[in-house]
């Protein structure tokens, strides 16, 4: 019995030790479990934070991908635009060269136009001077034309030098102004005679040509604008080979210039001074004596 009691006590003691040991182990395990639970909680929090970071990173990566895609298309568009700009630059450069060539051609045309402009300007100045002359003589021409038309109505012929008088109803008086004689030689070839003709009228040239030398005569009227211009226009010319006769030349106011050309006589290649042409000049002026008769 005693041995059984001892064994029983040992068993109890052993059980007690086991229980204590288990309790200690349980406590240790519980403490470790709390630590593990705390670690797991922190790990869970870390995982949640990492998950949140991963989600943010995913959204950032998605945005980055979208930005990359946009950047790709933008870069592609830039390349296309650059290509288009390069082509446009080439076209502009070609057009620029064309414009340069056109400018060179236009420069030549401008120089030609400038020369033409200067010529036109000179012609315009000359035309202005001619217009000044025309302004001065216009009234004279009108008056002379009116005189001529009216003289035909009254029976007076303007260039009839033999008419010493006119009809009684005429408004004109023929007044001899000047008369002179001049001898011209065949070897003179040409000469110029200036005759003052202050009023409209006519100039009669009586000539005597002993050897029937052919000669020519031309008349021009000179209008003088003081300080500006002198106009000289040939309005009458004739040529004759007769031995004698008369030439009647109508004249306008101012001055009448006569150009006389008497060529020399040539026989077998030799030139001779044979003929003298005697010319008598007489200037008649036409004056208005009263009002013009009605037509």
Q: Which CATH number fits domain 154-288: 1.10.3450, 2.60.120, 3.40.50, 1.20.1640?
A: 2.60.120
Hey, where are the domains in the chain? Answer: 154-288
Listing DSSP states for 23-40 in one string gives HHHHHHHHHHHHHHHHHH
pLDDT-based confidence at residue 141 (cuts at 50, 70, 90): low
- Whether residue 17 contacts residue 9, with contact meaning beta carbons closer than 8 Å, is answered with no
- pLDDT, tens digit (0-9, with 9 covering 90-100), for 54-73: 888 888 888 888 989 998 99
Q: Given a cut of 50, is residue 153 above it in pLDDT?
A: no
Least confident of 18-27, 85-94, 126-135: 126-135
pLDDT at 73: 92
pLDDT at 2: 54
Average pLDDT over residues 100-127: 86
Helices (H) and strands (E) in the chain, counts: 1, 10
H or E stretch covering 215: strand 215-225
DSSP reduced 3-state for 183: strand
- Mean pLDDT of the chain, nearest integer: 75
Query: 74 to each of 21, 26, 86, 89, how far by Cα in Å?
Result: 75, 68, 18, 21
- Whether residue 230 contacts residue 167, with contact meaning beta carbons closer than 8 Å, is answered with no
* Percent of the chain predicted with pLDDT > 90: 5
- pLDDT, tens digit (0-9, with 9 covering 90-100), for 170-225: 455 667 787 877 766 555 567 888 888 887 778 888 888 776 678 888 888 876 55
Which has the higher per-residue pLDDT, 27 or 166? 27
Question: Token pair for residue 13?
Answer: 């003691």
H or E stretch covering 171: none
Q: Given a cut of 60, is residue 24 above it in pLDDT?
A: yes
Average pLDDT over residues 244-258: 82
pLDDT-based confidence at residue 295 (cuts at 50, 70, 90): very low
Give me the phi and psi of 227, to 5 degrees please: 80, 5
Nearest partner of 153 among 12, 251, 267, 295, judged by Cα: 295
- Using only C-alpha atoms, what is the Rg of the chain? 66
């Amino acid at each position: 019995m005693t041995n059984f009691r001892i064994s029983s006590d040992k068993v109890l003691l052993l059980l007690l030790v086991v229980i204590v040991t288990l309790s200690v182990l349980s406590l240790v395990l519980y403490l470790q479990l709390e630590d593990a639970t705390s670690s797991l909680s922190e790990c869970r929090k870390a995982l949640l934070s990492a998950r949140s970071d991963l989600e943010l990173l995913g959204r950032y990566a998605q945005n980055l991908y979208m930005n990359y895609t946009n950047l790709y298309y933008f870069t592609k568009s830039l390349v296309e635009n650059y290509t288009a700009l390069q082509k446009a630059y080439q076209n502009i450069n070609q057009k620029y060269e064309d414009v340069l060539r056109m400018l060179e051609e236009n420069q030549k045309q401008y120089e030609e136009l400038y020369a033409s402009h200067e010529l036109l300007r000179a012609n315009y100045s000359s035309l202005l001077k001619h217009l000044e002359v025309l302004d001065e003589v216009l009234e004279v021409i009108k008056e002379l034309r009116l005189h001529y038309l009216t003289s035909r109505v009254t029976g007076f012929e303007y260039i009839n030098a033999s008419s010493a008088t006119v009809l009684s109803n005429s408004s004109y008086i023929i007044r001899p102004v000047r008369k002179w004689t001049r001898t011209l030689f065949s070897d003179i070839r040409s000469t110029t005679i200036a005759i003052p003709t202050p009023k409209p009228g006519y100039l009669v040239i009586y000539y005597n040509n002993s050897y029937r030398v052919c000669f020519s005569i031309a008349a021009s009227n000179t209008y003088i604008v003081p300080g500006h211009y002198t106009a000289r226009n040939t309005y009458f010319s004739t040529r004759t080979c007769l031995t004698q006769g008369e030439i009647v030349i109508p004249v306008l106011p101012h001055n009448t210039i006569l150009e006389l050309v008497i060529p020399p006589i040539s026989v077998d290649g030799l030139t001779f001074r044979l003929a003298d042409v005697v010319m008598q000049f007489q200037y008649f002026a036409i004056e208005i004596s009263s009002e013009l008769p009605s037509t």
